[in-house]
Amino acid sequence: MKPTTKAHLGLLGTNLFFAMNLSAVKYFTTRNIAGPYAINLIRIGVCVFLFWLFFLFQQEKIRLEKKDIGKFLLCALTALAVNQMLFMKGLSYTYSIHASLLLLITPILITFSAAWILKERITILKLAGLFLGVAGAVILITSRSNAGNGRDILWGDVLVLLSSVAYTFYFILVKPLMHKYSSMDVMRWVFTFGLFMIIPMSWNEFTAIPWRQFSMTEYLLMFMITVPGTFLAYIFNVYGIKMLSASMAGTYIYSQPVFAVIIAVFFLKEPLELYKIAAAGLIFAGVYLANKKTSDGNSTSHK
């Protein structure tokens, strides 16, 4: 198999794993088996262990410079302590379909933030993309549907959107570090610092997990969330960016909500209502227009 073919499959796998995570997390939270903060602590903790394990076998070891510690702390704060915690909490309240679609707002936010910081010209297409994306988000947030497994749809959707804002700040902050350190080094330090930040917020939920009552299905789902759904997903994404391009990797984010919808409908029995389809169409169109004919060499895939 060609390396480029492996890269494409890796990127597809990345978004499939992320999509599976949404329904797996909802399985635990809707049944009150494990809280969202506890799940986040487990997945981040396992990733930190695996990142450092891989570091032991890494040939080229780049030392972290003291002057960059503050930058990594800010990245950890925005990417994990704020973004991940808000997203996991929001997901526990809303539908996984809503969360997967609202995540597509992130590329639009990044495009406009980069244009503002880099003083790039805002085109009519970008403005149209922003309008369509916001319109789709408004449809989701203002929907009155009570079917399915959502507990507080409005609040959950708002938290997911706020998590996207936090990720936008992380994306801007981490860009200079990516030029100086390898992607694996950046992720290892961001996850390590982030782990210590989220422990105080997550410890009570973590200690309340009834591990002895877990069925084999629940152990498998927790494994899926942590190893393939988080660690391998990040590894595959980095590999795809290296072999292809960041802009190509970014296009695969479109596949994530498609996978998420299919899994949520069949696994969680979430209803695929007309307003969700309409919102999806608007958000997809918004992301496409906002990023049309732009290539900043970065991927916006996450979660």
The mean pLDDT values, 10 residues at a time, for the chain of 303 residues are 84 89 93 95 96 88 91 95 95 90 83 70 81 86 65 89 91 87 91 97 97 95 94 85 70 83 86 86 85 52 54
Residue-level pLDDT at 143:
74
Three-state SS at 206:
helix
Q: Is residue 302 part of a domain?
A: no
DSSP H or E stretch at residue 106: helix 105-117
Question: Other CB atoms closer than 10 Å to residue 173's CB: what's the count?
Answer: 18
Q: Is residue 298 part of a domain?
A: no
Question: What is the C-alpha end-to-end distance of the chain, expressed in Å?
Answer: 28
Q: Is residue 149 part of a domain?
A: yes
Q: Is residue 301 part of a domain?
A: no
Question: Other CB atoms closer than 10 Å to residue 58's CB: what's the count?
Answer: 12
Q: Is residue 243 part of a domain?
A: yes
Q: What are phi and psi of 85, to 5 degrees?
A: -70, -40
Cβ neighbourhood burial of 74 (10 Å; 0-12, 13-18, 19+): middle
Residue 30 domain boundaries? 3-290
Q: Is residue 103 part of a domain?
A: yes
How big is the CA angle at 293 (ends 122 and 253), to the nearest 5 degrees?
A: 100
Q: Which structure tokens are listed for 156?
A: 């959950």
Q: Is residue 24 part of a domain?
A: yes
CA–CA separation, 273 and 144 (whole Å): 11
The answer for 32, left when phi > 0, alpha when psi is -120 to 50, beta otherwise, is left
Residues 57, 62, 63, 69, CA torsion sign: negative
Q: Which structure tokens are listed for 170?
A: 């992380």
Instruction: Please give the tally of structural domains in the chain.
Output: 1
Residue-level pLDDT at 294:
47
CA–CA separation, 158 and 155 (whole Å): 5
Residue-level pLDDT at 297:
42
**DSSP code at position 37:** H
CA–CA separation, 261 and 22 (whole Å): 10
User: Which residue in the block uniquely carries the two structure tokens 């190893």?
Assistant: 227
Q: Is residue 251 part of a domain?
A: yes
pTM of the shown model: 0.84
